[in-house]
Amino acid sequence: MNEQKVKQDIQNISDIPFLINTFYDKVKKDEVIGFIFNDIAKVNWEKHLPVMYDFWESVIFLNGKYDGNPMPVHIRLNEKIPLTQEHFLRWLQLFNQTVDELFSGSRADTAKEKAAGIAAIMENKILSPIKIKHR
């Protein structure tokens, strides 16, 4: 008899590091976007991961723990290597895949919905920057 374990929803903030660590383990090895994190951005994971825990905790639990602005960092990254729609799509695919592997429920769905919105906003602002003309 083949029994499948029922996945639980994201229960509390202690689930966030598990989700984010699992996700970024995939990102680091990914052939489409891994090099951006490893070779171009040269991410300091010891510093970056706790920031991502706070960010996603704020996104999922609306607790305001993260108060930064990720846009400038990604704009500077785009100046080093032009980011593409494929990069944003792959990031989102890996995120959704990770959530689906680990969790199931309303908070898991919220995490995926928020990730899609974040990817769309970043993609839109980075790939189609509005040029403001001074008169």
Distance (Å, whole) CA 55 – CA 71: 13
CA atoms within 13 Å, Cβ hemisphere of 127: 13
pLDDT of residue 34: 97
How does residue 130 score in pLDDT terms, banded at 50, 70 and 90?
low
In sequence order, which ranges of the chain are alpha helices (DSSP H)? 15-29, 34-35, 45-61, 71-80, 85-102, 106-127
To the nearest 10°, report the CA torsion of 83, 55, 10, 42.
Answer: 50
pLDDT (mean) for 118-132: 81
Instruction: Residue 63: name the closest of 105, 118, 119, 13 by CA.
Output: 13
Distance (Å, whole) CA 117 – CA 92: 10
pLDDT of residue 67: 87
- According to CATH, what is the number of the domain 15-127? 1.10.490.10
pLDDT tens digits along 14-29: 999 999 999 999 999 9
Contact criterion met (CB below 8 Å) for 82 and 126: no
Query: What residue ranges do the domains of the chain occupy?
Result: 15-127
pTM to 2 decimals? 0.89
Answer yes or no: is pLDDT of 135 > 60: no
Chain-centroid distance, C-alpha 86: 15
pLDDT of residue 59: 94
